[in-house]
Chain A
Amino acid sequence: MNETKAHREQLAQLAADYDWLEEYCRQHPDLGRHAGQLRLAAALTRNVVGGSLEQRPDTPLHIAVVGGAGSGKSTVANFLVGSVVAEANPQAGYTRHPIAFTASPLSSWPSYLGFLGPLRRLDENQPSNLDEDVYQVHPVTMPQTDDPLADDVIWDCPDMTTWASTGYVSRLIEISALADVIVYVASDERYNDEVPTQFLQMLVQAGKAVVVVLTKMREADAPSLVEHFKNEVLSKIHNTGTIPPIPIVAMPSLTEAERADPAQAGARYRVQLLNQILVLCPSAHDARKRTLQNAIQYLESSLEQLLDVAKTDLTDLETWKTAVENGRKVFEDRYRKEYLSGESFRRLDRTRHQLLELLEPPGSAQYIGRAFSFIRLPYTLGRDFLFRSIYQSEASHLPEQTVLQNALASWLEQLQAESLRRTNTIGIWKSINQAFDSGLKQQSQERFQVQSRTFELMQGDELDRAGRALIDQLEANTSLLNFLRYGKIALDAVAIITVIALTWIPSWYHLLLIPVAVAISHIMAECVVWWRVDRIRASARTKRIEQLSAQISDPLAKWFEEWPTHGGSPIERMQIVLRRVPENLKALSAAIRSPKTV
């Protein structure tokens, strides 16, 4: 039970998605050609797939009479019924809404939700030129109770050729989708017209069984016209093989008597026509099964068309994403060049001093250490002087926040300029442009503020932690630390002793070598410490860029990229539809193909 409910929901959603796509295509001038096919897809979903899910019985079969204006659809409908029931008159395009004729009891009329979609059933009889989204059902009596079409519904449909038909062709499509058999009427004037032929092509693609009725020619011309139609028109209709070959029935210009009494006076045409329909539908069950399978096949094969509809938007979205991505690269690049390249992380100098101090021995040994440092004094002074005159501070740089703010502003302006350049097209760029006019900049600034706060806090922590870790690591390893401390003192002592021993008996100028010797161990220690701290500095730089990516530029870029697909924009709906339609279609076709329902 639950399953049925879920399927109903999927069905409604699928039909609604098709409807939305149809509407979308109508609004886009270059997509107008897809609108009809999408409408057909929606109608097939509602009327054929929906009917199957609702366990609609195989009868009545639906026979739709379609064709260009004035080609004689109403007359053919009368011949199918066997009596004059449809309003046939010379005004072209008189019929404006579909009218059903049926001999089967009206109680068996399908009445599930979604049947015939937006079309409303009229309760009382109205003239057939009522131009509204309605349909009528007229009960009729067939000439004989066992008439071949006694169980069927015959639909007299509006045309698709007059200038007014744009307003009502969707009604025609709705009924054509419902139909199990299409009777395509073409007059001697119309049979090679573009618009009706395209319509026929669409129905054949959708897997509808078709009978062609050629009308109004002179009796003598009938055979050659049929042949000509077969060669000129039918041969160009692409039949995928899901439907039987299309039969052609000729119905030359009728006499008044034949027109008035199709069952008797017009019997020769009627019998021919009914025979062809019977050939197409030997049993109601098979006919219905074919309708259903072909409908699903059509829906599945038309999925590619959806992508075609969305193509412009998707390409635009891709272009937008590329623009955002480029902007992100420039943003990070600017941060690296304008800030990071000049930043030397002064905090790490403290770590260096701490490390060097750590190497001085504690306790009573510290006096020895101090004595050595005193001896080293000439070296320390000389080093500082040299360092100060050699050392060039990197070029001064702006504060981090300012650099980031500037880079963000540039990023935004680059995106805005890009959207302005492309705004003459409709779609995404237009909406992006409007967004820039209505506070997109401010929103992104706010987002940036929030993100950059965490980013800022991270820096200090990160550096302190890295420096601290180095010191802690050394402090924890007591044996190594002691080895280094006393090793250094020992080295100094050895150096002094070596100098004295080598220059024995030392004169005063020999003693000048002592400070030099004592400096050697210190220089070694300094070099190692410098090297370690520099490594931290380098890794801090890379880490900083990573943090910028993770904390600011990535979330912002993501937000920009997804921006057009949020907030109820058409492209958001489009993406949902593109995802949902195949899913729902798959679920529904699986449900229908499973033996339980069939």
Chain B
Amino acid sequence: MSQLNTANAPFLRTLAPLLRGLERRLRYWHDLRLLYPVSAIQRAELEGLTDDLHRKAEALDVDQPLLVVMLMGGTGVGKSSLMNALAGAAIAPASFERPTTRDPVVYFHQSIEPERLDPALRLCRLVKHDRDALRQKIIVDTPDVDSNDLTNREKLVSVLPVADVVLYVGSQEKYHDQLGWELFKDHRQRSAFAFILNKWDRCVQTGPSGVRPDADLLKDLKNEGFEKPRLFRTTAQAWIDAAKANKSQPDQLPDGEQFQELRDWLEVGLTRLEIEAVKARGVGQLFDQLMRSLNGIRPPDLTAEAEKVRLEWKSTLGDASGMASEVLVGTLDPRRSDIENYFNLRGQDRFRGLMAAYLKLTSLRYSWRAFRPTLSVRTTSQKPEDDFELATFARGCARRAGERSLDQRNQALVNTLLVEANQVGFPLSILNDRTIQASRVNWDERWMQGVVESLNDVERELSNPQGSRAIVRQAVRLISNVLPEGALIASIFLLLWRFFLVEDFTPSLFHVFLPLFVTFGVLVLCHVLVMIVFPLRWPAIREQFQDLLKVRLNEEYSRIYLPIPGELAMGVLSERTTVDEIIRELKESSEWLTARESAAKVDELYGR
């Protein structure tokens, strides 16, 4: 026996750091800002269990672990009487007034420093004794579970997790009252349970029918999985009366009274071996509960769903960008001349000399538009000398398109995305906030950028063509830059030649203006050529522009929305890994514990 004891003592103590390690991990988990929603109830349960881990670690990190035995039951069943009978003195108040005990009474050996008690017990009424048989045990009398004073129940529930062994005390009337029974069921996974049927004298009065309360209680317990529970039938009051009369035991006891056995069990039966077994078992139960509760909050693996959502969203966003580009181009339609003009101005840079001057002259016809009422595109304060500012223009269009329909469509788009994600099995609770947040970017700015860049792209593409078209264009450009001046010089030369060298030539007014006419004709011809080769008309570029815009908007949409499900899934997955790691650690610890569990006879204190 003593050998076993020494072999076991470090074993319990080695559990303490293990429990602390687990506690740390769990606290870390609590502090995380979780993506996967955990209900308040689950969170509170897990926090309670973490507190239990802490408590157990503290309790085990000593040379001689203390066993906390707690009396639990309804008011008037005789918890305090039992306590007094066990103590052999009136240490707990007992009276006919209900409820009697309002604060827990802690009965412990004088050798134990009060600081060693669990914090929850330190604030209770402390009563010391000098009975060596109870050296390692702390007996706690608790307030009732069922009276009208609800604070009593709260106090009981707050100290109950400290118990290693709960003595469920019932009387003839209350042995299976609902409130006590529910509390027993709540706590049976957390501590060992033994049962006391007090006021046994009232139970043995037989009636014409019905079963004896102890048999009834045993049947109830069997249904709860306690095949052979430890049940003591007691009459505490008789023992108190005997002690008052200085007798070692009452004169008359009803048949089957077992108070003596209860006392013996507490004093002698619960040896160090049993205490350690109960402690180890308590830790094992805590592990089991933690595992159950962690399995309940274990986030799912959403990577597959996230991929599905991504595919689904991709096509939706494609449609959405098509729609948006259509709306934007639709807003540009009435402003086609502005765009054409813009291109024209840009195009003039390609030409020199007469052709450039001519083009500038022709584009004057656009400038009168500066005076007509327009969209609020041209803000007067902004560069009045710059007739057409592309960014301002595009911003105006984007704002107008936004006001007209794009803003509402974006709202609708978020809903569409969320509904689609839900349909492929991605939980909305995770996705909702992120998606809505993502949708709150400045869309006007993005559309403006899209319009500006797409216009520039179209223009760039036009000015840098490939293959034969490039040659043709080059040729046209060359011709346009050279031919008008050539024509002017040639016709003037011709005129001068005829005037000086050819006889009887008198120049009329017509002859004088002829070089101008010819040059003008050439310019017009070149202009026609330019118009044909450089398609700067809006209808010609509209489609290309819309396609480019669509691609650009699609990129923008994809950049904003597409990564969301994947990122969230990864986040949830990492949460899942964290939980899995804790579970794995718990499992290992619990296996280790089972392998070392001693052969003490404590099974009867636990149900299935």
Q: Which of A390-398, A476-484, A578-586 contacts B (4 or more CB under 8 A)?
A: A390-398
Contact B415 A414 (CB under 8 A): yes
Q: Select which of B97, B99, B173, B418 is within 8 A of A417 by beta carbon.
A: B418
Contact across chains for B419 and A91 when beta carbons are under 8 A apart: no
Tell me if B207 is interfacial: C-beta within 8 Å of chain A. yes
Q: What CA separation (Å) do A228 and B97 show in the bound complex?
A: 7
Cβ of A565 within 8 Å of any chain B Cβ, yes or no, is no
Partner of B148, one of A162, A193, A228: A193
Interface membership of A421, Cβ < 8 A: yes
Contact B415 A410 (CB under 8 A): yes
User: Which chain A positions have C-beta within 8 A of B97?
Assistant: 228, 232
A128 to chain B minimum Cβ distance, whole angstroms, is 8
A69 x B173 contact (CB < 8 A): yes
A-side contacts of B216, CB under 8 Å? 91-92
B301 to chain A, nearest CB (A): 21
B370 within 8 A of A: no
Residue-wise interface mask of B (173-200) relative to A, using a CB-CB cutoff of 8 A (1 in contact, 0 not): 1111111011000000000000000000
* Interface mask (B197-216 → A, CB under 8 Å = 1, otherwise 0): 00000111111111111001
CB neighbors of A among B131-186 (8 A):
146-150, 171-179, 181-182
Q: Which residues on B sit within 8 Å (CB–CB) of A409?
A: 412
Known: A91-B210, A163-B182. A192 touches B99 (CB 8 A): yes
- A90, A127, A396: the one within 8 Å of B205 (CB): A90
Q: How far is the CB of B236 from chain A (nearest CB, A)?
A: 13
Write out the residue numbers on chain B whose beta carbons fall within 8 Å of the beta carbon of A397: 330
State how many residues of chain B have any CB contact under 8 Å with chain A. Answer: 61
CA distance A445 to B393 in the complex (A): 40
Determine whether B432 belongs to the interface, using a CB cutoff of 8 Å to chain A. Answer: yes
Minimum Cβ distance to chain B for residue A85 (Å): 11
CB atoms of A337 and B403 under 8 A apart: yes
Q: A338-B405, A395-B333 are in contact. Are A87 and B209 (CB under 8 A)?
A: yes
Contacts of B175 in A (CB 8 A): 92
Q: Which residues of A contact B330 (CB under 8 A)?
A: 395-397
One of B70-78, B256-264, B355-363 at the interface: B70-78
Count, A-B residue pairs, CB within 8 A:
178
Contacts of B496 on A, CB cut-off 8 Å? none
Which residues of B lie under 8 Å from residue A190 when comparing CB positions? 76, 173-174
- Chain A CB within 8 A of B372 CB: yes
* Known contacts A127-B209, A194-B146: A421-B428 contact under CB 8 Å: yes
B96 within 8 A of A: yes
Cα distance A337–B150 in the bound complex, in angstroms = 62
Question: Are B428 and A420 touching (Cβ within 8 A)?
Answer: yes
**CA–CA, A71 to B172, complex, Å?**
9
A89 touches B98 (CB 8 A): no
A369 at the interface (CB under 8 A from B): no
* A371-423 contacts to B (CB < 8 Å): 390, 392-397, 409-410, 413-414, 416-417, 420-421, 423
**A392 vs B96: C-alpha distance when bound (angstroms):** 97
- Number of A residues near B (Cβ < 8 Å) is 63
Contact with B along A120-133 (1 / 0, CB 8 A): 00000001110000
Q: Which of B75, B181, B220, B403 contacts A192 (CB 8 A)?
A: B75
Residues of B within 8 A of A337 (CB): 403-405, 408
A330 touches B408 (CB 8 A): yes
Q: Mark B296-340, 1 if CB is under 8 A from A, else 0.
A: 000000000000000000000000000000000011011100000
Query: B74 touching A225 by the CB < 8 A rule?
Result: no
- Report whether B208 and A90 are in contact in the complex, using a CB–CB cutoff of 8 Å: no
- Compute how far the CA of A194 lies from the CA of B144 in the bound complex, rounded to whole angstroms: 11
Whether B181 and A163, one on each chain, are in contact in the complex, defined by CB atoms closer than 8 angstroms, is: yes
Q: Within 8 Å of chain A (Cβ to Cβ): is B594?
A: no
Q: How far is the CA of A414 from the CA of B410 in the complex (A)?
A: 12
Q: Report the nearest B residue to A68, measured CB to CB.
A: B173
Which residue of chain B has its CB nearest to the CB of A423?
Answer: B428
**Nearest B residue to A220 by beta-carbon distance?**
B96
| Any B CB within 8 A of the CB of A51 | no
Q: With the chains together, A534 CA to B440 CA distance in Å?
A: 39
- Return chain B residues, CB-CB under 8 Å to A90: 172, 202-207, 210, 212-213
Which residue of A193, A228, A341 contacts B74 across the interface (Cβ within 8 Å)?
A: A193
Kindly identify, within residues 70 to 127 of chain A, every residue whose CB is under 8 Å from any CB belonging to chain B.
70-71, 87-94, 127
Contact with A along B553-580 (1 / 0, CB 8 A): 0000000000000000000000000000
In contact, A192 and B98 (Cβ under 8 angstroms): yes
B422 within 8 A of A: yes
With a CB–CB cut-off of 8 A, which chain A residues contact B418? Answer: 417, 420
Please, which residues of chain B bring their CB within 8 A of the CB of A421? 428, 432
User: Given contacts A90-B207, A410-B415, is CB(A71)–CB(B404) below 8 Å?
Assistant: no
* B416 interfacial by beta-carbon distance below 8 Å: yes
Q: Which residues of B contact A93 (CB under 8 A)?
A: 176
Report the separation of the CA atoms of residues A166 and B99 in the bound assembly, to the nearest whole angstrom: 24
Complex Cα spacing A507 to B330, Å: 53
Contacts of B210 in A (CB 8 A): 87, 89-91, 94, 129
Q: How far is the CA of A330 from the CA of B411 in the complex (A)?
A: 10
Which of chain A's residues 170-195 have a Cβ closer than 8 Å to chain B?
187-195
**B residues less than 8 Å from A161 (CB atoms):** 146, 174, 177-179
A246 in contact (CB, < 8 A): no
**A544 contacts the other chain (CB 8 A):** no
Is B333 touching A393 in the complex (CB atoms < 8 A)? yes
A2 to chain B minimum Cβ distance, whole angstroms, is 48
Across the interface, which residues of B come within 8 angstroms of A410, CB to CB?
408-409, 411-412, 415-416
Closest-by-CB residue of A relative to B328 is: A395
In the A-B complex, the 8 residue pairs with the closest CB atoms: A89-B207, A70-B173, A410-B412, A189-B76, A91-B210, A89-B210, A192-B98, A417-B415
14 cross-chain CB contacts under 8 A: A89-B206, A161-B174, A162-B181, A188-B76, A188-B98, A189-B77, A190-B174, A194-B147, A195-B146, A195-B178, A233-B148, A390-B372, A410-B416, A413-B412
Q: Which residues of A are interface residues toward B (Cβ below 8 A)?
A: 68-71, 87-94, 127-129, 161-166, 187-195, 197, 217-218, 221, 224-225, 228, 232-233, 236, 330, 333-334, 337-338, 341, 390, 392-397, 409-410, 413-414, 416-417, 420-421, 423-424
Known A68-B177, A420-B419; further 19 A-B contacts with Cβ < 8 A: A70-B171, A87-B210, A88-B208, A89-B206, A89-B207, A90-B202, A91-B212, A91-B213, A94-B210, A161-B146, A161-B179, A165-B178, A190-B173, A195-B177, A225-B96, A334-B405, A392-B335, A395-B333, A417-B415
